[in-house]
Amino acid sequence: MHTDFDTCWEILQRRDASYDGVFFVGVRTTRIYCRPSCSARPLRKNVAFYPTIAAAREAGLRACLRCHPDNILPETALVHAVCAYIDAQPQTPTLGAIATAVQYSSFYVNRIFKQQTGITPRQYAVARQTERLAGLLRNQPTSITRAIMDAGYASVGTAYYAQPFGMALRDVRRGGAGMTLDFDYCETDFGVIGIAQTAHGVCAVVLADTPQAVTAELSAQFPQAVLQHAPTTMETAIDAVRALAYSHPTNREIRLDIRATAFQQRVWDALRRIPAGETRSYAEVARDIGQPTAVRAVAQACAQNPVAIIIPCHRVVHTDTRRDGYRWGSARKQALLAHERTHTPEANG
């Protein structure tokens, strides 16, 4: 559940209905609480965010008569209850334990959770356990064995067998120390495009206003890795990504070195099937991958795309065709889409 102010404020600005019920917006001046999708536009200084209706009411707020935040679907409430229960457990709970806690059958819990999120409660629980282990390995001066046990794994062998990160646990603990990434950037009409790659392929494509901003972004993504400016090594990747940005045909295969959950991979594959010059809504992408109710999960997968342009998440828009919500800025998203609409082979007749 989202309570970080900046994250919630950004969602509020988008009026993103996919977060209705995930958190609630409190307005100090009117003493009401709303859904994130409410059409009301309070000033930032007057806003507070609450994870539950109960928390908003405890703060002395009443429900908005415009958006009726109390009328959240029971399926949504169930998903929130399941997530809250899993988050509070020191170990990954069984489906039976989750069902008992929320007072529904295991079959019903599993079915509704997957319908609403695109993943099962078990997959969510494993992802949360992986996040805990990553945090312990990177942020605490503890042994790998201690981190594994504190993260709730049944045994050290279980964690090693699961291979949760796609890399050795000792490398995760070092935060990528010892890795060397080649990178370069190029100037385009859409800003500066920066690309980083490992020995196995491209691992990041970022968009920024200056080369310095590209370097800062890559450093933030790979804080312990050695970033090596290597224009000669990166020439092929730079040319291929620039061609994609300008909608030029290219036969160059871009090797990728990115990690993804099964769900993320399905979403990213669907994005790469969207023709240049066209857009799809999050709901359409959800239907395309066979998960029509997983709109929120699709939006999250788009936001987690590590290789802009190559995986064209800029072609996904809100149902009302708004172009906001793009990690690299709505203006850049609009420019990419406008260029594609006028420079694809179909557009040129």
Specify whether 112 is located in the same domain as 135. Answer: yes
Whether 255 maps to a domain, the answer reads no
Q: Which domain holds residue 198?
A: 180-245
Lowest-pLDDT choice from 200-209, 237-246, 247-256: 247-256
The total domain count for the chain is 4
CATH of the domain at 135: 1.10.10.60
Alpha-carbon distance 37 to 23, whole Å?
A: 11
Q: Do 56 and 115 lie in a common domain?
A: no
Give the Cα separation of 193 and 21 in Å (integer): 36
Higher pLDDT, 292 or 201: 201
Check whether residue 53 and residue 84 sit in a common domain: no
- CATH number for the domain including 11? 3.40.10.10
Q: Check if the beta carbon of residue 132 is closer than 8 Å to that of residue 151.
A: yes
Give the SS3 label for residue 162: helix
Specify whether 190 is located in the same domain as 149. no
Are 57 and 80 found together in one domain? Answer: no
Q: What beta strand segments (E) does the chain contain? A: 24-27, 32-34, 47-50, 62-63, 180-188, 191-197, 202-208, 226-229, 280-281, 316-317
Query: Per the residue annotation, which of 8, 34, 83, 203 is the catalytic one?
Result: 34
Structure tokens at 45: 């200084």
Q: Quick one: pLDDT at residue 125? A: 80
* CB 310, CB 202: distance < 8 Å: yes
Give the span between the Cα atoms of 305 and 17, in whole angstroms: 21
With cut-offs at 50, 70 and 90, classify the pLDDT of residue 311.
Answer: very high
Is 195 inside any structural domain? yes
Tell whether 251 is covered by a domain.
Answer: no
pLDDT exceeds 90 at position 44: yes
24 within domain boundaries: yes
Distance CA 291, CA 118 (A): 6
pLDDT score for 327: 82
CB 325 within 8 A of CB 14: yes
**Which CATH number do you get for residue 201?**
3.30.160.70
**Are residues 324 and 274 both part of a single domain?**
yes
Residues 154 and 79 occupy one common structural domain: yes
* Residue 311 maps to a domain: yes
Give the whole-angstrom CA distance, residue 307 versus residue 312.
8
Residue recorded with tokens 């993804």: 260
- Say which CATH number the domain at 289 has: 1.10.10.10
Cβ neighbours of residue 295 under 8 Å, at least 6 residues apart?
18, 282, 283, 286
Task: Tell me if 250 is assigned to some domain.
Answer: no
Residue 349, pLDDT > 70, answer no
- With contact defined as beta carbons under 8 Å apart, do 137 and 173 qualify? yes
Which segments of 201-288 does DSSP mark as H helices, in order? Answer: 211-221, 231-245, 262-272, 282-288
Rounded Cα distance between 292 and 317, Å, is 16
Contacts of 83 (CB under 8 A, 6+ apart): 1, 124
Q: Is-catalytic flag, 34?
A: yes
Active site annotation includes 8: no
Residues 166, 78 share a domain: yes
Q: Which of 245, 271, 297 is the last residue of a domain?
A: 245
Q: How many angstroms separate the CA atoms of 244 and 188, rounded? A: 12
Considering only 48-62, 71-85, 125-139, 151-165, which range has the smallest mean pLDDT? 151-165
Predicted model pTM: 0.56
In a domain, 83, yes or no: yes
204 bridge partner residues: 196
| 151 & 107 share domain | yes
Over the stretch 141-189, which tens digit does the pLDDT of each residue have? 556 666 656 655 655 555 544 444 444 555 555 555 567 889 999 999 9
Question: Is the same domain home to 279 and 322?
Answer: yes
Same structural domain, 154 and 207: no
Looking only at the bridges linking them, the beta strands covering 32-34 and 62-63 are parallel
Share of the chain above pLDDT 70, in %: 79
Inside any domain, residue 254: no
Of 175, 198, 213, the one marking the end of a domain is 175
Q: Do residues 121 and 161 both lie within one domain? A: yes
